[in-house]
Amino acid sequence: MTQLPSTPPQKKLGLVIDLDICVGCHACAVNCKEWNTGGHSAPLTDLDPYGAKPKGVWFNRIHTFEAHNEETGESRTVHFPKSCLHCDDAPCVTVCPTGASYKREEDGIVLVNGDICIGCKLCSWACPYGAREYDEDEGVMKKCTLCIDRIYNEALPEENRVPACVSTCPAGARHFGDLGDPQSDVSLLVEARGGVALMPEQGTRPVNRYLPPRQKTGKDVAPRMLEHQDDSNEGAGLLARWVDKILS
Amino acid sequence: MLIWLAVFAGLGWLPAGQLFGFIAFAIAFILVAGGLLSSTFHLGHPERAWRAMSQWKTSWLSREGLIAVLTFIPTGLFAAGWVFLGRNDGALLMLGAAGALMSLMTVYCTAMIYASLKAIPAWSNVWTPPAYLVLSLATGAVLVTFISAVFGLDTVQPMIVTALIALAAALAIKLAYWSARSGAAPVSTSASATGMDRFGKVTLIEAPHSESNYLMEEMGFRIARKHASKLRAYAIGLGFLLPLALLAAVGWTQLPMPEIWLGVAVLSCAFGIIAERWLFFAEARHVVTLYYGETSA
């Protein structure tokens, strides 16, 4: 059913991504692809994988942005992993004409039933975040499942029952948990670091949160560049001053 | 077209001629069925298309599909009565009126598919539903007027007036839409898309991958956008101004062979509206482009 759950899910499983820590190594995207090409929405089709223009389905992609402050002249580079945000008011779900898209009442995860999806692509137009991708080979839409086949998988050791992207992140920039519980570790982390929702103006009420990079303190700032000493030899060592004197 | 066939029949402007009925409804149904079939065959799974009628509680696409198919029932009976019994009055006219109303509802649902997509500010605004409704009425009126002229009906004059009013209204709505869009503030920015508003101006410096992907191809449209002003001139000139001039010329001067001129108006209108439709899609900037290099949408 493409109606959102009548009672909003109490449990809201989602990700918290720390932009202060992410180093942009793409390991989360690679492990996501690796797990999910054999998982719930398998395969994550690749077209022309070894050719000139490879193209395929990925649930997680890492963009790199630069934020430039014109007043201070300071720029910072931010690696920005993006996958489905499992929105409370998921527009991709309500536009679906077939009932293939749905939001789970028990944990808020947004999924696609590939057996009844007609491949009209309307959900990908409804999603502001680009979380849904079309599998040209299978003719259906695919998206992040929050590794539903890992997080409840009793065949896996308990510490591995987290999404593939979270388990593989070498920097510890990704956190998984229940954002519906204000006392959960992820909720407390969001609270402490001022975690933000992406594009709140779109009214989708995403579950996932992003922790913004920490503000620089102003101390401990390295000199921006070396100062040129073309005009004077002031402050130079004895040998350098002597060489300077001979040559000039 | 189905709407005007019912309305003009109700006004007594269209004789219940069987040949006229056959030709007019054949054109109307071929256009409608062609549209429905082409949208079915661009699906990833056309054989599952019937499922699209199940989610009318939330999905405008589902509502559109359902009403479009249901509309065939009253309009089909109306057409059958006209073609086989030579009648378009009484109960048959009631069916025609019901079909006309359902046709309008179908167009409204189509418009709402686009108007409900907040991620595309160019569609998600108050202009989309009236533009769809009035454009469909205008193009239908031009087509019915042309067919009536081919049959040499003496009621072509009031139809021309109707078509002129509808076309002028459609042009006014499109012009108002374009002017509203050109001054519209962006809904989302690369700063809100990344949650980094406080750090200054946010620009993409590296894409997630070296090659293109589904999102970039589906929501990119760079080439068409490049020709936007040219396409807009075609849309206004061919879609509206030339048909308006031809309709007026046929209506108020003694042009020989009015059906030829009205035929030119139909063709011109068709090409103009294709340009207008193309633009409607090409100028629609999806907010997902903020993750692929745009800074506002």
Asked whether the beta carbons of residue B60 and residue A95 sit closer than 8 angstroms, the reply is: yes
Residuewise pLDDT in 10s, chain B (297 residues)? 888 988 998 888 998 888 999 999 999 999 999 999 999 999 999 999 999 999 999 999 999 999 999 999 999 999 999 999 999 989 999 999 999 999 999 999 999 999 999 999 999 999 999 999 999 999 999 999 999 999 999 899 999 999 999 999 999 999 999 999 998 999 999 999 999 988 899 999 999 998 889 998 888 766 667 788 889 999 999 999 999 999 999 999 888 889 999 999 999 999 999 999 999 988 888 999 999 999 998
Q: Chain B contacts of A134, Cβ < 8 Å?
A: 44, 214, 218
How many C-beta atoms surround the C-beta of residue A194 within 10 A?
12
Question: Which residues between 32 and 51 in chain B have a beta carbon less than 8 angstroms from any beta carbon of chain A?
Answer: 43-46, 48-49, 51
Q: Chain B contacts of A76, Cβ < 8 Å?
A: 199
Kindly state whether B65 is in contact with chain A, defined as any CB-CB distance less than 8 angstroms: yes
Instruction: Give how far Cα B39 sits from Cα of B36, B139, B286, Å.
Output: 5, 20, 21
The alpha-carbon radius of gyration of chain A (Å, integer) is: 24
Report residue A75: phi and psi, to 5°: -120, 145
CB pairs under 8 A between A and B: 196
How many Å lie between the alpha carbon of B119 and the closest alpha carbon of chain A?
A: 5
How many Å lie between the alpha carbon of B291 and the closest alpha carbon of chain A?
A: 7
How many Å lie between the alpha carbon of B203 and the closest alpha carbon of chain A?
A: 5
Asked whether the beta carbons of residue A97 and residue B51 sit closer than 8 angstroms, the reply is: yes
Asked whether residue A247 carries a pLDDT value surpassing 90, the answer given is: no
DSSP category for residue A196: B
What integer pLDDT is reported at residue A238 of this predicted model?
A: 87
Nearest CB partner across the interface for A118, out of B49, B200, B211 = B49
What integer pLDDT is reported at residue A220 of this predicted model?
A: 60
Instruction: Give how far Cα B185 sits from Cα of B123, B181, B182, B193, B296, Å.
Output: 14, 9, 9, 16, 9
Q: Name the 3-class secondary structure at B243.
A: helix
Chain B interface mutation, best of A30, A55, A65, highest count of B Cβ atoms under 10 Å: A65
Comparing alpha-carbon positions, the chain A residue that sits nearest to B59 is A95
Rounded Cα distance, B241 and B235, in Å: 9
Query: What's the predicted TM-score (pTM) here?
Result: 0.91
Comparing alpha-carbon positions, the chain A residue that sits nearest to B49 is A118
What integer pLDDT is reported at residue A242 of this predicted model?
A: 87
Number of H helices, E strands in chain B: 12, 1
How many C-beta atoms surround the C-beta of residue A145 within 10 A?
23
Residues of chain A with pLDDT > 90, as a percent, come to: 79
Instruction: Give how far Cα B272 sits from Cα of A117, B180, B268, Å.
Output: 35, 21, 6
Instruction: Give how far Cα A247 sits from Cα of A18, A177, A236, B76, B296, Å.
Output: 54, 67, 15, 100, 56
ipTM of model: 0.91
Asked whether the beta carbons of residue B116 and residue A95 sit closer than 8 angstroms, the reply is: yes
Rounded Cα distance, B117 and A121, in Å: 13
Which residues are registered as beta bridge partners of A75? Answer: A68
How many Å lie between the alpha carbon of A39 and the closest alpha carbon of chain B?
A: 21
Nearest CB partner across the interface for A65, out of B65, B196, B213 = B196
Q: Name the 3-class secondary structure at A186.
A: helix
Q: Chain A contacts of B69, Cβ < 8 Å?
A: none
Among A64, A79, A81, A75, smallest CA distance to A20 is for A79
Asked whether the beta carbons of residue A130 and residue B215 sit closer than 8 angstroms, the reply is: yes
> B211 near A53, Cβ under 8 Å?
yes
Q: Name the 3-class secondary structure at A227.
A: coil
How many Å lie between the alpha carbon of B122 and the closest alpha carbon of chain A?
A: 13
Asked whether the beta carbons of residue A91 and residue B119 sit closer than 8 angstroms, the reply is: yes
Torsion angle of the four alpha carbons B139, B143, B146, B147, in this order, in degrees rounded to the nearest 10? -170
Burial class (CB within 10 angstroms; exposed 0-12, middle 13-18, buried 19+) of B197 = middle
Which residues are registered as beta bridge partners of A65? Answer: A78, B204
Rounded Cα distance, A19 and A80, in Å: 7
State both tokens at B214. Answer: 């589904």
Rounded Cα distance, B100 and B92, in Å: 12
Nearest CB partner across the interface for B200, out of A68, A100, A136 = A68
Asked whether residue A183 carries a pLDDT value surpassing 90, the answer given is: yes
Asked whether the beta carbons of residue B61 and residue A120 sit closer than 8 angstroms, the reply is: yes
Chain A interface mutation, best of B209, B212, B217, B292, highest count of A Cβ atoms under 10 Å: B209
Kindly state whether A137 is in contact with chain B, defined as any CB-CB distance less than 8 angstroms: no
Rounded Cα distance, B252 and B168, in Å: 17
Burial class (CB within 10 angstroms; exposed 0-12, middle 13-18, buried 19+) of B252 = exposed
Kindly state whether B188 is in contact with chain A, defined as any CB-CB distance less than 8 angstroms: yes
